[in-house]
Chains A and B, each alone.
Chain A
Amino acid sequence: MLLLQLLVDGLQLGALYALMAVGFAIIFGSTRVFHYAHGTTYIIVGYLFYYMTERAHVPWWLAAALAACAGVIFGVALDRYVYRPIQRDEGSFFTVFVASFGVGVVAENLVIILFGASFVSISTPLTRANDIGGGIVISWLGIASMLVAVALFAFLNWFLGRTDVGVALRALSENPELVRGFGLNPRKLSQYAFAIGSLLVVPAALVATCVTGLTPTAGHRVVLISIAASIIGGIGSLRGAGLGGLILGLAESLAVWKLSTGWSEAVAFIILFCFILARPSGLFGTRARV
């Protein structure tokens, strides 16, 4: 019974991880930017949502929409004003990574100054557990997060498969030179990648604010999980990244069955490590760049 409950919890967690991971994978795949500040987007969205609902008493749907906008603007602005100037000078991936990390450090400490270093969370009746038969419990928020994940994946499938921008983004991750040859502007496309990628962090940030609470340092974990999931799924494969996220969420939840909760945090990275050892190209990786 415990096992089944952990499975249900893991699915909720995994759905949110999958969204974050796909967000990272879209950005990394099409722009080659090692976007460590992906976790910073999460912090910004979460804390804005907290501030607006708990302190400014904005209705929750408006707060969520505004926070999502802020996250998208942050991602796009970062691409335009930080990553682009660096890439213009032929910066290697590590130069971009360091700058991205620096942005994360600045944002993290601004949040500490504004909100303090301890947990903040929003109390809502939606997190109360409902018995769905056989002693298995799930909250409305858990159901909502899984539905949102399914909806967003359906949207992504349509967007990347059917729209011009989506097709161009996939092309960009395959062959940037060819995209340029077709007269498309990779710079403009990368803005779309950052907008969508940042948007996909929003559900996880909003749910986490209500369920587990936020700390200023939570961003590290978010981005590491996203990166780990994209590597497990295979760099370049969005479906792989989603599946990787789901696996990590399930594994983290199921680990509680045998291990104390302190250790379960490390489970995701042990899985990542096994993958790097045994199959660096990931589950669906086509081009193992080893």
Chain B
Amino acid sequence: MVGYILNLLILVSISGILAGSLNFIIGYAGIYSMAHAAFFGIAAYTGALIAMHVSTSLLVAIPVAMALCAILSLVISLPSLRVRGEYFVVASLGLQMIAFTVFSEWKEVTGGLGGITGVPVATLFGFRLRSLESFLAVSLFCLAFVTLVIYVLARTSFGRNLKAIRDNEVAAAAFGKNPTFIKTIAVAISSALCGIAGVLYAFHVSFVNPESFTVDQSVLIMAMIIIGGTGTVFGPILGALIIHLLPAGLTYLTFLPARELASLQQIIYGAAMVLLMIYRPSGLIGRANIKDTWSK
């Protein structure tokens, strides 16, 4: 039971990092990326491969994965940031599909649909993070770090530039800001932070396969932000907590058929997305004023 709760908390921390890093571009910059699970996957594969062939130290795997995610995000975002709104959503969805195909078909590196199994236990400063408690501590530290980075960034001039671009790109450009450059950096930061989650995930479950990095995963991350509250600091963490506690809570309702639990969970969060969009588009702890949150 304790193991189950620790396990759940580790997954909540990893999801919190994912949701927080995606919220940085959706909530503050107005860049609606549907390719977050692709970067999560790239980092997880990177982490797994480094652990198996180079070093099991988190201090090696995490920086490499972060750097790789940031570089790949540049390659991808520079051109697609030329387009706005609907186009970017579609472009990122397309990327997500391409990434999934690469994960499942580039068999020499990713192991195909079977994935990579037997990722060794992570180490940090020479300590083996064998127990769930120690891994949870590291995950929580990472979550706190990512949240702090985003909190600070949102309050610097860079964060204010992002919000300015989100609210009115033309006006921001007229003030001498370079929207393309600022947005590209924002996407790179978001992808790099997402890389931390990927490495933690690979070490935690000790195997990676393409199933964890589908469009559905991207939507799930987005759902966490939307349910929690877009553009808020703790909204994504609250969303991650709700999305993970929901299935755990459902298992206690014994009258529900066990086989359908996964589907029921998805139905509940799908319905929550629809109802929230109709009645409270700013999320559970978001500002009540819709126009502040979803301004174009």
Contact A269 B84 (CB under 8 A): no
B80 at the A/B interface (Cβ < 8 Å)? yes
Majority secondary structure, B binding face: helix
**CB proximity to A under 8 Å, residues B34-84:** 79-80, 82-84
**CB proximity to A under 8 Å, residues B14-42:** 32
User: Total A-B pairs in contact (CB under 8 Å)?
Assistant: 135
Report A288 CB to chain B, min CB distance, Å: 9
Residues of chain A within 8 A of B254, CB atoms compared: none
B172 at the A/B interface (Cβ < 8 Å)? no
Contact A224 B93 (CB under 8 A): yes
Given contacts A95-B294, A224-B93, contact A276 B79 (CB under 8 A): yes
**CB proximity to A under 8 Å, residues B74-121:** 79-80, 82-87, 89-91, 93-95, 97-98, 101-102, 104-105
**CB proximity to A under 8 Å, residues B252-295:** 260, 263-264, 266-267, 269-274, 277-278, 281, 290-291, 294-295
Residues of chain A within 8 A of B264, CB atoms compared: 109, 113
Report B273 CB to chain A, min CB distance, Å: 3
The CA-CA distance from A106 to B215 in the complex, in Å, is: 15
Contact B277 A265 (CB under 8 A): no
Majority secondary structure, A binding face: helix
Report B258 CB to chain A, min CB distance, Å: 13
Count how many chain A residues have C-beta atoms less than 8 Å from C-beta atoms of the other chain: 46
Count how many chain B residues have C-beta atoms less than 8 Å from C-beta atoms of the other chain: 45
Residues of chain A within 8 A of B84, CB atoms compared: 289-290
Residues of chain B whose beta carbon lies under 8 Å from any beta carbon of chain A: 32, 79-80, 82-87, 89-91, 93-95, 97-98, 101-102, 104-105, 215-216, 219, 222, 226, 260, 263-264, 266-267, 269-274, 277-278, 281, 290-291, 294-296
What are 12 sample pairs from A and B whose C-beta atoms fall under 8 A apart?
A: A89-B281, A93-B85, A98-B277, A104-B270, A105-B269, A109-B267, A231-B87, A270-B98, A276-B91, A277-B80, A289-B87, A290-B84
Residues of chain A whose beta carbon lies under 8 Å from any beta carbon of chain B: 34, 82, 85-86, 89-99, 101-106, 108-110, 112-113, 217, 220, 224, 227-228, 231, 260, 262-263, 265-266, 269-270, 272-273, 276-277, 280, 289-290
